[in-house]
Amino acid sequence: MRKAQRGPDTRTRAQTPPRGAPMPVIQIHLMEGRTTAQKQALMREVTRAAAETLGVSPQSVRILLQELQSGHFAVAGEPKYADHDPAATGHATQPETVTSN
């Protein structure tokens, strides 16, 4: 049985992590509202990119995904809301006023 041939290792010494290098730990803060499938795909792709870029095995990459509750994030002091949050559009549900003629 023949072994699969691998191409030459094109990483330079600077690209190869030193022996015993700490594992990469990546923190991602994400507004709530993504599906489980989207979050899993994001973590897979970030792991792939980190492993390739840093020259480490995917098994050494750790990802911490933190979902931010709608309204718990602000830009210039103004809270931001997830798309599914009625406050995001300013159309929050208000009690209906009934008037008689």
**Gap between the Cα atoms of 95 and 101, Å rounded:** 19
Q: Which two tokens stand for residue 5?
A: 């041939």
**Gap between the Cα atoms of 37 and 64, Å rounded:** 16
For residue 92, with 0-12 CB atoms within 10 Å meaning exposed, 13-18 middle and 19 or more buried, which class applies?
exposed
The verdict on residue 96 lying in a domain is no
- Mean pLDDT confidence for 50-59: 94
Report the share of the chain in percent with pLDDT over 90. Answer: 54
Q: What mean pLDDT value characterizes the chain?
A: 79
Q: Which residue range forms the structural domain that includes residue 56?
A: 25-88
Beta strand residue intervals within 13-97, DSSP E: 25-31, 62-68, 74-75, 78-79
The predicted model scores a pTM of: 0.62
The verdict on residue 79 lying in a domain is yes
Q: Is 24 a catalytic residue?
A: yes
The verdict on residue 78 lying in a domain is yes
The verdict on residue 18 lying in a domain is no
Among 32, 66, 21, 26, smallest CA distance to 44 is for 26
The verdict on residue 95 lying in a domain is no
CATH code at 39?
Answer: 3.30.429.10
The verdict on residue 4 lying in a domain is no
Among 6, 10, 16, 14, smallest CA distance to 55 is for 16
The total number of structural domains in the chain stands at: 1
Q: Which of 22, 24, 58, 95 is catalytic?
A: 24
The verdict on residue 7 lying in a domain is no
pLDDT score, position 96: 44
